Structure 1
Amino acid sequence: MKYKDTQLLIIPGLGGSGVDHWQSFWLQKFDSSIRVNQENWNKPQLKDWLTNLNKAILRIDGPIILVAHSLAVSLVLHWVNTYTNSNIKGALLVAPADVDSPTHTPESVRGFAPMPLAKLPFPSIVVASENDEYISLERAEYFAKKWQSEFINIGLKGHINSDSTLAFWEEGQAILAQLINKIP
């Protein structure tokens, strides 16, 4: 990586990331990766999840790149509205779940609404799929514009999760490298 001692902070969404999820494969591949754990993956509470994310960030001494999937994307945006930490150098925001939309997401995530729309204070890339059941492509692009993130459409990859059978998701690793190159 561009930065010596940069940590990838892997932040799973609703349900956690199972063994077949690309985030779990990245934890195996990158020695510099750490996973944020939540006490209840299936009944998310914003306040508890925010506290756990912030604790994980505070435990890392050095540069951090956030790697969030699904519900964790809104968690990152809520974290930015609540906390600050100069160690955060960038964020890879994959398949954001539209927490504002009862059509796209379950009631259990409504506590994460409304989706924060403020500009992110670090470089970021939003990765979305054309056939993600949890967000429309247009809505994902709208969020990226509000956050002033680069937007990448990776085609028909579903929710970019275990069901997408991406394993080490080499395309995602290339996008991560693009993000790292954006970091001043």
Structure 2
Amino acid sequence: MTVSNPSPQVLLLPGWQNSDADHWQSRWEQRYGYTRVQQHDWQRPLRGDWSIQLQEAVLECEREVVLVAHSLSCILTAWWAVHSPLAKTRVKAALLVAPGDVEQADLRNVLPGWSPVLLQRLPFASVLVGSHNDPYCSWSRAQQMAHAWGARLVDAGAVGHINTDSGLGDWDAGHALLQQLMKDERHGD
């Protein structure tokens, strides 16, 4: 008798100011029952505090996890992965969507303590989805991050910051990417 591994638990990591009710992350939470990692302060994020919240969320999971990060939480994921041993042992993969480039002057000023972006290879499989007209991260910067993190880069076209304003609704194409990433990792064991 073959015992199959249970599917990983999906943790949603919203970016700065959280994901509103119409954001694809909120829709996925409602539709698929994924778990949103809550932060103490969505308006004035502190990297250390957000990292502790992520650490605790991963520790609470009874099985391996897949991270679904948006915007600032892509930067959080890269930073946390370098500093937490759990990244190697508990995280199966990550979908990184529309990273916020905290080294841009306008973001560096409103999000102090998040720069520089750690550009080291992630210890788990990852896919980075970027947009050609994201006001918070240029396409060339998204390419640089994907390369440094060892992530497969997916071109979303010109859809802005891949958030509610992008008009993606449930963003079925993004969910298909997540499902493929999870399937690839299950077969990679």
State which of 26, 29, 32 in structure 1 corresponds to 2:28: 26
In the other structure, the counterpart of 2:146 is 144
Cα distance, 1:137 vs structure 2? 0.3
**Normalising by the residue count of structure 1, what TM-score does the alignment of the two structures yield?**
0.94
Q: How does 1:34-183 map to 2 (within 5 A)?
A: 34-85=35-86, 86-103=89-106, 105=107, 107-183=109-185
CA RMSD of aligned residues (A): 1.4
Aligned identity (percent) is 39
How far apart, in 1, do the equivalents of 2:47 and 2:41 lie?
A: 11
In the other structure, the counterpart of 1:14 is 16
The answer as to whether partners of 1:11 and 1:36 remain within 8 angstroms in 2 is yes
Cα separation, partners in 2 of 1:100 and 1:3, compared to 1, 3 Å: farther
Give the total of aligned pairs.
181
Which stretch shows the higher mean deviation, 3-12 or 131-140? 3-12
Cα distance, 1:106 vs structure 2? 5.3
The answer as to whether partners of 2:98 and 2:161 remain within 8 angstroms in 1 is yes
Q: Secondary structure at the match of 2:174?
A: helix
Unaligned runs of at least 5 residues, structure 2: none
Larger-Rg structure: 2
The answer as to whether partners of 1:6 and 1:64 remain within 8 angstroms in 2 is yes
**Normalising by the residue count of structure 2, what TM-score does the alignment of the two structures yield?**
0.92
Cα distance, 1:120 vs structure 2? 0.6
